[in-house]
Structure 1
Amino acid sequence: MKILKFGGKSLANGKGIQTVVDIIEKKAKKGEAITVVLSARGASTNELEEILEKASKNENYKAQLEAFKNYQLQGYEALDAQEEFHALDTLFEGVSLLGDYSEKIKDKVLSHGELLSARLVTALLKEKGVNAHFTDSRSLIVTDDQFGNAQPLDSLSKEKVKAHFKKYNGTTVNVVTGFIASNRNQETTTLGRNGSNYTASLLASFLDAEELQNFTHVDGIYTANPDLVADAKKIKKLSFTEANELAHFGANVLHAKTIIPLVEKKIPLRILNTFDPENEGTLITSEENEDGIKKLSVLENVSLISLEGRGLLGRVGVDARIFQALAYENISISIISQGSSERGIGLIVNSTNASKAKKVLEEEFKTDIYKKDVSAILIKDDVSVVSIIGQDLSTFHKPYNRLIKNQIVPLLVNNTATGKNVSLVVLKKQLHKTLNVIHGEIYGVAKKINLAIFGHGLVGGTLIDQILASRDEIEKRKNIHLNIFAIANSKKVLLSNSGVDHRWKTSLQNQGVSYTLDDIIQYADKHHLENVIAIDNTASKDFVYNYEHLVTNGFDLVSSNKVANTVDYEFYKSLRSTLENHQKQYLYETNVGAGLPLIETIKLLHLSGENITRIKGIFSGSLSYLFNTFSVEDRPFSEVLKEAMDSGYTEPDPREDLCGNDVARKLLVLARELDLKNEFEDITIHNLIPAHLREGTAQEFLGKIQEFDTVFAKIKAAQPEGNVLRYVGDLHGDLSKDKGIMDVQLISVPKDSSLGQVKGSDSIFEIYTESYGDHPMVIQGAGAGATVTARGVFGDILKVAQSIN
């Protein structure tokens, strides 16, 4: 059996309801076993709710009620609707006399939309010779007593459903009312708005249906709302997991609860267009999609509640108090996050609950307000949530940067634990623009991009494999063809104008030839390779002096090598002058923060005239992991260091991390983004390596790392109680002058501070500006690892690719 569910727009007067009847008739006469679940017709539910409000306020509601009745009978005057109409007259009259109504009464009123819809369709099907049976779902679905959003009692409901369908089976087409049910006392309840989908999925589960077909007014699920994004593309197939994410984040063709009954039974759900029934729509199954999807979903009718105050940052248990207080009042939170511009917490709730939520939180935090730890609890109503489902956090800087360029600054940014879904809270007036900007970034213009990759070590090799693994999908989704025509190390280069393949390591070894840089440039010219990008994944100081030569010969630049931005200032300025003169790009987001959108954010803030006054944070993912672990675990420093090395967090010779030069270079990169003329020698660096261990081979050093244990045990023991160790870079002083003050040092910080709460190998950056005073913008995320860094470089490549005209 297949369950067919039709929505309100499909059942509207005219072409809609006639098309629905034709679809059902065609399937029934072909001998298909089907059950039909119907919503209320057109905007009937909204109409009934409006009439109910008018009646409760003793306003004139009868004219609108008559219009409602006329719509239900328009063209179908023979329909016997007197029972429903009489019940509505009685209910509205009672509400008008009382001047109020309960959720219980509201459920009774709203139920008549589905009852009228099902009676009409049943009658029309019988006229066409279809053995249709009107089925009131209140006799099938039994719920608890939560009027307005009742929860089904599965066991009892399943028993009633099976008994009914045993009685009415064979050629019978049961036409079932969606949305409505009844409690144990046979009082009418409803399953919440969009609950007709839920009714259909419950029936599908109880009856072990072959498929649930949800007929709507669109061809399926799109990458974004096609009413808002003209270039939105239909998604042919989704997994239940992905569909659940879409439903949770507001995809309006799905109801969050719809998916649940289907998952256990692995019953496919197909989203179809009533008005284009031959279209295959979107199929949702238990089969996971290997590469995932990207879709923009929107939550509207929401409000942003913000708690601001000096006592919130780093305090343990604040989130728990918020959740507990609101849960007690049945107020659901869809998103909670620290704001990007305030030392505070923001949370998204349904707009209808916003005022109540504010009062609840004011009561919960009244002591904190009195102590001025909480300075304000505010409501912002004019907001929407845009969720990018399937967005990898390591490449999130691309749509984020594009938003900033379009003067859209998210009020909150939130990502899931998987790092695959990112949600933004934006002003409602910017919603349309936000969707189009992000969608345009994700589904860009077609072009061919030719890549020359220098360095194929841990990061470079991972990058090459990532490109090769992803390029077919990128070409399919983006119409961008990534062609690696050169892979070079310090001795040999592999050249192929048609592009290398997955055997590149063997090919480089067997077919690689010695070369000069001009050999690669001339090869590109000879084979007329357009849109060429040079990617530097080396750590070579010498190679960066080739950058200008590459630029003058038509190459854009992408680099994970920090050297070019940290050698002498004159070279730094000369390179940028060459880039500007040749209108070429040089991207190096992974120089600081791996794949986090840090450098570009600083660039844009600085370019916009925002006066950045301080940048402070944990710059090294390696040292972050080292001290995060050492601070909380009772183990010798050498043992933690060895573990970090074995896990690939440090360089093969960990002295390159422990000396602090890497953090210093990253700090200098940021300083120069602010047009400061600092040199590397200006940085005060706390070298963690004892003087007598700084020389010699890596093997000799590793044989003596136990000598660290006593030193760091004393440092750890000397901390104030509740503190942890962090290796921090700090750019401060008067940054409006030519040079800032730069310190790289091991410090002790409170465990509940923003720096103290960092986990694993995460990096965290606090950006202080003149406008925000003591409240920094905080960017935090994965800060170490070849995969994350390579993914960040990959993001820069795609960003350059998409910006090439």
Structure 2
Amino acid sequence: MKILKFGGKSLANGEGLHNVVQTIAQKYFNNESLAVVVSARGNTTDELVILLKKAQANIAYKSDFESFKAYQLEGVSENIFENEFEVLEKLFEGVALLGDYSEKIKDQVIAYGELLSAKYITYVLNHNNIKANFVDARQLIKTDARFGNAQPIDLVSKRNVKAYFEKNVDAVNVVTGFIGATLHNETTTLGRNGSNYTASLLANYLNASEFQNYTHVDGIFTANPDLVVDAKKIERLSFNEANELANFGAQILHAKTIIPLVEKNIPLRILNTFNASNTGTLITAEQANNGIKSLSVLTNVSLINLEGRGLLGKTGIDARIFRVMVDNDISVSIISQGSSERGIGIVVNSDKATKALVGLEKEFENDFYTKDVNKISVNDNIAVISIIGQDLSNFHKPYTALIRNKITPILLNNTITGRNISLVIAKEEFKRALNVIHGEIFGVSKKINIAVFGHGTVGGTLIDQIVASADKIEKRKGIKLNVFAIANSQRVVLNKFGINENWRDTLADKGISYTIEDVIAYAKEHHLENLIAIDNTASGQFVENYIALAESSFDLISSNKVANTIGFDFYKKLRKVLAANQKEYLYETNVGAGLPLIDTIKLLHLSGENITKIKGVFSGTLSYLFNNFSASEKKFSEVLQEAIDKGFTEPDPREDLSGNDVGRKLLILARELDLQNEFEEVKIKNLIPEHLREGNVAAFLSRLEEFDSGYAEIKNKQTPNHVLRYIGELSGDLQQDKGVLEVKLVSVPANSALGSLQGSDSIFEIYTESYSEQPIVIQGAGAGAKVTARGVFGDILRLSEKKL
């Protein structure tokens, strides 16, 4: 025989009810032996409780009761519940008259949810030529008198069930779940998810071949799919693993359900009423492969902390605590103890927290007077995440992922087997924590959530590169790049599922005004993990947001040089905040576009290598300008105009020609060597004749020929076989607080590394003690939106891989 249990959502009017009848019919006409256990249909139990409370408060409830009756009778041509409705009406009238009700009365009222359900299903089955019997479990399952959470009297209940089913073998017996009765025939209920318990008891008593639990989901998942979008179905579980899931809040299971099945080694299969083709999750005695199975969550819990220096080394403290819990019928799900300063934390259901606190304060009243106990407090703002199957040897991975996302567990607890770990988390963080842990443990791909600020030439190219490459990167690297925010200085578009190739139209049509706090709040509201903020602006104002972003769990990537070149105080403050929040800040493209310059200098400096000098052509624009001017007979203005026409310069070329950009890049490298120079200390050779430095852009562009005589003279005065190069140079005693920073126009041999430079390439020479007079040379494309965007993309991947 198979025991089929159907949940409330499965039995709701409509598709679910139709599928239930079809499922039973298919098995019946295939001559399968089965019994059916039913929960109350739809929201019946909740509605009965509401009616009961309204009656208690003397609030009009009769119209609601009529609606309730209409729902129960939907699809039935006659009133098959006349007696049941009459009893319910009398119960409500009695409660309204008294203005109160007991747990005993409540059990009598809510029991009618299952009674009506079983009677309805029996009626429908018989009308579909399926012989069915209505079975009131109160006649079979006998319990103690703990109303609301009664415990079956096993011997009596087993005898009753066996006797009934031996006499009724030729029909589908439809049994009310959740309810029982005392030996005096007083109605009781079996507690949360009690219908599952009823079904597992029947399976045990009848030696069923399988217990099939039909729900509204495809089985048990690696996490609650409502909380974790990427949750995956688990094909098989052992009873021990299922029991752990049940103990730690898995909604689809009840801890008591497992025990009767284990006793008789009866398989339990979780199936979906709404998806007949799905095979569900099978739970058996057979131990599945080792490994993490699922994450479960408890949210209706509180943490009680008992602290006291004077308790250190005293015996019997734990016994006193648990005596209070036993006396008040309070179950403790987690206990954690400290050693250096005596502290004990226990997790209990929130509805029992006040009772526990009062009981503990009374028990330890004298200890307060002797100062042995300092404080007993309750924290209701917690949730518990349990990792079922987590081995302590690999726990550092999810734990590190939490810390990386700025989520610090309040306390940890593991079972004696070392394969189940529970974390107490602040309640406002538990959804994000759940997604972080799930992504770390089960994710085929690590999701990286990116906010891009600035979508001009570089920013727009970067976004296009990410969209075009995302699928390949996910397959090759296991990294899922999800751009959830794109913003300019005024508007932002937000989508937790990611932006597609039409992002420009989306931003134009649906972009909204914003502050940086709005983006941070959006990420927090949607529990986005592994956050990266990318600054592709040139804004000095935007860098002020870096600290708020770092403090809100964002790593930073920037092609904007401002944060690294403004005051040294801000430079130090930002790095202090980054360190305190364990966040990264990557800015490889600040100097050399996509060239691996900053990383190389960082690595050399970190390894203790004494860098003695850095010099090079820092600007791709000015590289193009002087490479071509030196190698041709063209006038300086002609080459400059070519650079402007090719888009190599800024809209106002004076921003390049002033040398300030090169100066900022040089300062960035100086600060990588822990030098404390300020921008004002950089000696910069301005390439613009003084009389052309003011005025509007149009006027300047019309006077480019005024460069020619001066630069022709400089070119002609060179030593033969020399060429002009505009370089940045860092020198001096670089072991001191400050170095010598110069940006200057120099003449170098044409056959030297600097002199042989071509096109718009950049080149950097790094001199160190170890390498003596042979510098490390890094050369390559130093300008262009694609190159810079690709460099930022490289920083994204570099940072993403650190999160694996």
Scaled to the shorter chain, the TM-score interval is 0.5 to 0.7
Structure 2 distance, partners of 1:580, 1:350, is 53
Report the Cα offset of residue 580 of structure 1.
8.6
For 1:416-448, what per-residue CA distance to the aligned partner results, in whole angstroms no more than 9, with x for missing partners? 11111111111222121111000011024469x
For 1:589-618, what per-residue CA distance to the aligned partner results, in whole angstroms no more than 9, with x for missing partners? xxxxxxxxxxxxxxxxxxxxxxxxxxxxxx
Aligned in 2, Cα 1:178/1:583: closer, same or farther, shift over 3 Å? farther
Determine if the alignment matches structure 1 residue 114 to structure 2 residue 114.
yes
Match of 1:87 in 2: 87
Report the Cα offset of residue 75 of structure 1.
3.3
Amino acid at match of 1:67: S
Match of 1:394 in 2: 393
Report the Cα offset of residue 62 of structure 1.
3.0
Aligned in 2, Cα 1:803/1:155: closer, same or farther, shift over 3 Å? same
Amino acid at match of 2:24: I
For 1:297-328, what per-residue CA distance to the aligned partner results, in whole angstroms no more than 9, with x for missing partners? 01121112222232344443222211111111
Aligned in 2, Cα 1:312/1:78: closer, same or farther, shift over 3 Å? farther
Amino acid at match of 1:235: I
Match of 1:225 in 2: 224
Report the Cα offset of residue 264 of structure 1.
1.4
Match of 2:330 in 1: 331
Question: What secondary structure, in the 3-state scheme, does the structure 1 residue paired with 2:300 have?
Answer: strand
Match of 1:48 in 2: 48
Match of 1:72 in 2: 72
Question: What secondary structure, in the 3-state scheme, does the structure 2 residue paired with 1:334 have?
Answer: strand
Match of 2:265 in 1: 266
Contact 1:339 1:413 in 2 (8 A): no
Structure 2 distance, partners of 1:583, 1:398, is 30
- Which runs of structure 2 are paired with 1:271-290 in the superposition (5 Å)? 271-290=270-289
Report the Cα offset of residue 223 of structure 1.
0.5
Which runs of 5 or more structure 2 residues have no equivalent in the other structure? 447-474, 480-587, 589-595, 604-673, 675-797
Report the Cα offset of residue 36 of structure 1.
0.4
Q: With a CA cutoff of 8 Å and minimum separation of 6, indicate the structure with the bigger relative contact order.
A: 1
Report the Cα offset of residue 395 of structure 1.
1.7
Structure 2 distance, partners of 1:19, 1:433, is 36
For 1:355-381, what per-residue CA distance to the aligned partner results, in whole angstroms no more than 9, with x for missing partners? 111111111111112223222222222
Amino acid at match of 1:366: E
Aligned in 2, Cα 1:132/1:401: closer, same or farther, shift over 3 Å? same
Question: What secondary structure, in the 3-state scheme, does the structure 2 residue paired with 1:221 have?
Answer: coil
Match of 2:359 in 1: 360
Question: What secondary structure, in the 3-state scheme, does the structure 2 residue paired with 1:303 have?
Answer: strand
Contact 2:238 2:288 in 1 (8 A): yes
Contact 1:179 1:194 in 2 (8 A): yes
Determine if the alignment matches structure 1 residue 130 to structure 2 residue 148.
no
Match of 2:302 in 1: 303
Contact 1:335 1:348 in 2 (8 A): yes
Contact 1:239 1:285 in 2 (8 A): yes
Aligned in 2, Cα 1:413/1:312: closer, same or farther, shift over 3 Å? farther
Structure 1 distance, partners of 2:406, 2:263, is 45
Contact 1:9 1:217 in 2 (8 A): yes
For 1:699-750, what per-residue CA distance to the aligned partner results, in whole angstroms no more than 9, with x for missing partners? xxxxxxxxxxxxxxxxxxxxxxxxxxxxxxxxxxxxxxxxxxxxxxxxxxxx
Match of 2:599 in 1: 581
Structure 2 distance, partners of 1:317, 1:292, is 37
Question: What secondary structure, in the 3-state scheme, does the structure 2 residue paired with 1:8 have?
Answer: coil
Match of 2:380 in 1: 381
Question: What secondary structure, in the 3-state scheme, does the structure 1 residue paired with 2:261 have?
Answer: helix
Structure 1 distance, partners of 2:216, 2:51, is 26
- Which runs of structure 2 are paired with 1:13-32 in the superposition (5 Å)? 13-32=13-32
Question: What secondary structure, in the 3-state scheme, does the structure 2 residue paired with 1:336 have?
Answer: strand
Report the Cα offset of residue 160 of structure 1.
0.7
Match of 1:610 in 2: none
Amino acid at match of 2:42: G
- What root-mean-square deviation, in Å, do the aligned CA atoms of Structure 1 and Structure 2 show? 2.8
Match of 1:469 in 2: none
Aligned in 2, Cα 1:210/1:801: closer, same or farther, shift over 3 Å? farther
Determine if the alignment matches structure 1 residue 160 to structure 2 residue 160.
yes
Determine if the alignment matches structure 1 residue 431 to structure 2 residue 430.
yes
Contact 1:399 1:438 in 2 (8 A): yes
Question: What secondary structure, in the 3-state scheme, does the structure 2 residue paired with 1:112 have?
Answer: helix
Report the Cα offset of residue 54 of structure 1.
2.6
Question: What secondary structure, in the 3-state scheme, does the structure 1 residue paired with 2:51 have?
Answer: helix
Amino acid at match of 1:8: G
- Which runs of structure 2 are paired with 1:29-40 in the superposition (5 Å)? 29-40=29-40
Report the Cα offset of residue 56 of structure 1.
2.4
For 1:182-240, what per-residue CA distance to the aligned partner results, in whole angstroms no more than 9, with x for missing partners? 11101111111210000000000100101000001111111000111111111100111
Match of 1:202 in 2: 201
Structure 1 distance, partners of 2:405, 2:597, is 23
Contact 2:292 2:387 in 1 (8 A): no
Amino acid at match of 1:28: Y
Amino acid at match of 2:337: Q
Match of 1:253 in 2: 252
Match of 2:348 in 1: 349
Question: What secondary structure, in the 3-state scheme, does the structure 1 residue paired with 2:331 have?
Answer: coil
Structure 1 distance, partners of 2:394, 2:340, is 22
Contact 2:302 2:350 in 1 (8 A): yes
Question: What secondary structure, in the 3-state scheme, does the structure 1 residue paired with 2:16 have?
Answer: helix
Question: What secondary structure, in the 3-state scheme, does the structure 1 residue paired with 2:255 have?
Answer: coil
Contact 1:240 1:284 in 2 (8 A): yes
Aligned in 2, Cα 1:244/1:800: closer, same or farther, shift over 3 Å? farther
Aligned in 2, Cα 1:406/1:479: closer, same or farther, shift over 3 Å? closer
Structure 2 distance, partners of 1:192, 1:579, is 66
Report the Cα offset of residue 85 of structure 1.
1.1
Question: What secondary structure, in the 3-state scheme, does the structure 2 residue paired with 1:407 have?
Answer: coil
Aligned in 2, Cα 1:804/1:332: closer, same or farther, shift over 3 Å? closer
Question: What secondary structure, in the 3-state scheme, does the structure 1 residue paired with 2:386 have?
Answer: strand
Contact 1:294 1:389 in 2 (8 A): yes
**Aligned sequence identity (%):** 61
Aligned in 2, Cα 1:362/1:234: closer, same or farther, shift over 3 Å? same
Question: What secondary structure, in the 3-state scheme, does the structure 1 residue paired with 2:299 have?
Answer: strand
Report the Cα offset of residue 2 of structure 1.
0.3
For 1:493-534, what per-residue CA distance to the aligned partner results, in whole angstroms no more than 9, with x for missing partners? xxxxxxxxxxxxxxxxxxxxxxxxxxxxxxxxxxxxxxxxxx
Report the Cα offset of residue 17 of structure 1.
1.0
Deviant stretches of 4+, over 4 Å:
339-343, 577-580, 582-585, 799-802
- Which runs of structure 2 are paired with 1:554-573 in the superposition (5 Å)? none
Amino acid at match of 2:89: D
Determine if the alignment matches structure 1 residue 319 to structure 2 residue 318.
yes
Contact 1:339 1:411 in 2 (8 A): no
Amino acid at match of 1:361: L
Contact 1:444 1:802 in 2 (8 A): no
Aligned in 2, Cα 1:341/1:128: closer, same or farther, shift over 3 Å? farther
Structure 2 distance, partners of 1:328, 1:285, is 36
Report the Cα offset of residue 59 of structure 1.
3.0
Structure 1 distance, partners of 2:62, 2:84, is 15
Amino acid at match of 2:31: G
Structure 2 distance, partners of 1:392, 1:584, is 37
Amino acid at match of 2:117: S
Contact 2:312 2:341 in 1 (8 A): no
Question: What secondary structure, in the 3-state scheme, does the structure 2 residue paired with 1:86 have?
Answer: helix
Amino acid at match of 1:154: D
Question: What secondary structure, in the 3-state scheme, does the structure 2 residue paired with 1:263 have?
Answer: helix
Match of 1:178 in 2: 177
Report the Cα offset of residue 11 of structure 1.
0.8
Amino acid at match of 1:125: L
Contact 1:111 1:190 in 2 (8 A): yes
Contact 1:79 1:123 in 2 (8 A): no
Structure 1 distance, partners of 2:600, 2:444, is 23
Aligned in 2, Cα 1:378/1:583: closer, same or farther, shift over 3 Å? farther
Contact 1:137 1:180 in 2 (8 A): yes
Amino acid at match of 1:168: N
Which runs of 5 or more structure 1 residues have no equivalent in the other structure? 448-475, 481-576, 586-674, 676-798
